[in-house]
Structure 1
Amino acid sequence: MNILLLGAGGREHALAWKIAQSPLTSALFIAPGNAGTALCGTNVAVNPTDFEAVKNLCVSNGIDMVIVGPEEPLVKGIYDFFAADADLKTIPVIGPSGEAAMLEGSKAFAKRFMNRHNIPTAGYKEFDNENYTEGVSYLTEHSLPIVLKADGLAAGKGVIIAQNHVEAMAEFELMLQQAKFGDAGKKVVVEEFLRGVELSVFVLTDGKDYLILPEAKDYKKIGIGDTGLNTGGMGAVSPVPFADELFMKKVKERIIEPTIKGLQQDQLDYKGFVFIGLISVDNEPYVIEYNCRLGDPETEVVLPRIKNDLVEIFDAVAKTKLKDIKLEIDERAAATVMAVSGGYPGNYETGFEIDGLDVLNEDDVLVFHAGTTVDGEKILTKGGRVLTVTAYGAGIPEAVRRALKILEFISFEGMYYRKDIGFEFKHGEEN
């Protein structure tokens, strides 16, 4: 099977690494890919949102399946583009339709979906410039803190947690009247603040049946102890110790099953990943958000724990035969630590050579490239998040220690990483 994988980050390298292991894979193309994906297949300089270029790539290389990594092509309707094209309609796309992808593409769409299908989530109201005055009144009476979310895709920056009413009003005005987030902020969702511990649950569905993948917890803050600015993710761990059998039973019954049934009832075409961002409030799960793809860097701990042939699973999704698949999960913990460019998530420079990638001699340790590129014999930095090191362990602390040990041998100018990933699970997790 000739497979095309769209994307260029750490998620895509992890996917490429897993896809390349399958005996069902004849050839793997990654568009545009990075220095890491080049080790697993053939990188092609095609923008995933240039659908005509993607079509030409598929036709010229006899592609049999397309796997979509990032959200933007999905929200822009790549699934529908393939379905409507005579030359492409027989090629399965692993990912939802454009309408279904609005679960990620529009916060308001997602909240209405959750309310319609009685899925537990924070209370909310949505506002735009037409009911701006009503929104101001609503904010003045809202309990603190107040969560404001830009409705559309805002590159992970569209969520503001205001600690007082003055800050909330200022952000509300900036988002709606000053276009702080551009078109993404033409509508604003105002939510109640939920206090608890977050985790990510991943589901793969063929539109009828589903598999629950290993859960994960990521770390968004740049600084030690979850301090400082938000990033795209500084690391992740799996499994999540507090997500025990009872908690996951609640997640399955109250969230996953209503979500899958809701997609069917609303006649939303969905063959792909459903990322469910959850928060545990006194051991009760609530949905914070949906994403229509795998998370990053969670992918780098979730996929290494799946023993199955991933291409066989994707083929079952395409053929609506997911009920025939039984997941096999590695019982070991996995942890990944992200190395980032100096200055990230603010201003940073790229183009620095990465040293030490050839000294990896630990068993069961993986390096996934995120923002890298090849320049002759050198591998250079090409983004804020540069690479992750994933390691297995008997528990989370051991896995983190092994990942950090490898990072000591890798270097590039300005390199920074958090040394406390999984910090809240340091004690009692070694067995």
Structure 2
Amino acid sequence: MNILLLGSGGREHAFAWKIANSPKCTQLFVAPGNAGTLQIATNVEDLAVTDFEGIKRFVLDHSIDMLVVGPEEPLVKGIVDFFEKFPETRNLPIIGPSQTGATLEGSKDFSKRFMKRHGIPTAASETFTAQSINEGLVFIKSQPTPIVLKADGLAAGKGVLICETHAEAEKNFKAMLLDEKFGEASKKVVVEAFLDGIELSVFVATDGESYKILPEAKDYKRIGEKDQGLNTGGMGAVSPVPFATTSFMKKVEEKVVKPTVKGLKEEKIKYTGFLFIGLMNVDGDPFVIEYNVRMGDPETQAVLPRIKSDFVDLLYAMGTGRLSNYQIELESFSTSTVVMVAGGYPDVYEKGNPIEGLNTAQKDKVLTFHAGTKMEKNGQVTTQGGRVLGITGMGNNLEEALDKTYARTREICWKDVYFRKDIGQDLLNFGK
């Protein structure tokens, strides 16, 4: 089948790699893509992920059989609803939820209210606007520290602040609501109780009726080692996660996954695609931190290599409501992903720096996923974003996977390259 994949990051390169390796894929287009997808698919560089009219024309002109939406923005802006308006595109399988479904990620307040309605365990919270700022300040004073502040809307993975003191929380709360610290995203702010535990990400594929739980992962969001410094879109990930035991994952399924899918169905919210559940393991019990309505980045680069069964079959089963018939098979090996970023990220960073070492012979069980890259006319790959590459190693255990990952990172360089050297180290001796 002919498949169009929207996006240009590391997640989309991983999707493209998995899709291109399926015998079910005849031709793969990626819009706009990056230098990595260019090597395995046809990039459509002038087609933006939010140009719905342009995407529709491309779908019809190129006889696209399935549309896979990688990032959250087009979903939150209603691409699924847009395609359903037209008879010629109404039946196209689209991997992604409706605009209402995407609000689970597009609005933290919406998702918290959804969880409360359906008894899904999550931290206690209240939501405030500029009009209710004084009530918010009183509420903050009444809370134990640390205090979590979340921008209600999309903030590129950077809209969450953990404040150690009441003064810090009050200062940031005002900055978010009055000074638009995160722009439109912080017109509402969710003030949330801090959960003390270990974080992990659980991924669910659903067609709105059935679901399949994909391999879990743990990601590392802070820019600095030992989880110091600013939040980023993600500096690395590992899979599987040693504390995600069979008994814990059973709790996740019963307390979180089932009531979430059931709640969407009861509220008649059309949801076809991936659901990323950010969880905190608090003394063996799962609490939902957030929902995302697509696969995570960089977790995708760690998770997809562990899916053994045909990935296009999985996507098509979701898009056509036949997921109950899909048998998911998983690999037993471990994976680790380390993200190589531009110096200065997540603040100001340079673009256009040549990347050296990409053409060194790829070693067995190592994958190099492109994110913020561009292929110049002379064939040189340059940096184009903050997160530039994701290096994924595979091994019989986490230690082997990390060895392969870091060996590859040492072969690649560009001006002011930076990556964390402690990804997965906290899990190597977990439980020993």
Q: TM-score, normalised by structure 2?
A: 0.98
Partner SS, residue 346 of structure 1: coil
AA at the equivalent of 2:411: F
Partner SS, residue 358 of structure 1: coil
| Alignment partner, residue 253 of structure 2 | 252
Partner SS, residue 190 of structure 2: strand
Matched, 1:285 2:282: no
> What CA deviation, in whole Å up to 9, does each residue of 1:46-105 have, x standing for no partner?
100111111121111111110000000000000000111233212111000000100000
| Alignment partner, residue 25 of structure 2 | 25
Report the CA distance between 1:429 and its aligned residue.
Answer: 9.3
Q: TM-score, normalised by structure 1?
A: 0.98
Partner SS, residue 101 of structure 2: coil
Structure 1 stretches of at least 4 aligned residues deviating more than 6 Å after TM superposition: none
Report the CA distance between 1:112 and its aligned residue.
Answer: 0.4
AA at the equivalent of 2:391: V
In the TM superposition, 1:216-227 aligns within 5 A as 216-227=217-228
> What CA deviation, in whole Å up to 9, does each residue of 1:362-414 have, x standing for no partner?
11111000000001211111011110111111111110111100111111111
The separation in 1 between residues aligned to 2:431 and 2:149, in whole angstroms, is 36
The separation in 2 between residues aligned to 1:22 and 1:361, in whole angstroms, is 21
| Alignment partner, residue 308 of structure 1 | 309
> What CA deviation, in whole Å up to 9, does each residue of 1:229-253 have, x standing for no partner?
2111111000000000010010000
Report the CA distance between 1:131 and its aligned residue.
Answer: 2.0
Alpha-carbon distance change, 119 to 429 in structure 1, aligned in 2, over 3 angstroms: closer
> Does the 8 Å CA contact 2:205/2:273 hold for their aligned counterparts?
yes
Deviates more, 1:204-213 or 1:387-396: 387-396
Report the CA distance between 1:9 and its aligned residue.
Answer: 0.2
| Alignment partner, residue 328 of structure 2 | 327
| Alignment partner, residue 401 of structure 1 | 403
AA at the equivalent of 2:56: K
AA at the equivalent of 1:21: N
> Does the 8 Å CA contact 2:158/2:233 hold for their aligned counterparts?
no
| Alignment partner, residue 35 of structure 2 | 35
AA at the equivalent of 1:195: D
Partner SS, residue 359 of structure 2: helix
Report the CA distance between 1:158 and its aligned residue.
Answer: 1.3
Matched, 1:391 2:393: yes
The separation in 2 between residues aligned to 1:154 and 1:344, in whole angstroms, is 15
1:422 to 421, 424, 429: 424
In the TM superposition, 1:142-157 aligns within 5 A as 142-157=143-158
1:410 to 379, 390, 412: 412
AA at the equivalent of 1:417: F
Deviates more, 1:180-189 or 1:366-375: 180-189
Partner SS, residue 157 of structure 2: coil
1:381 to 383, 391, 406: 383
Paired positions, count: 430
| Alignment partner, residue 107 of structure 1 | 108
Partner SS, residue 276 of structure 1: strand
The separation in 2 between residues aligned to 1:279 and 1:42, in whole angstroms, is 39
Alpha-carbon distance change, 67 to 223 in structure 1, aligned in 2, over 3 angstroms: same
Deviates more, 1:276-285 or 1:226-235: 226-235
AA at the equivalent of 2:11: R
Structure 1: runs of 5 or more not aligned: none
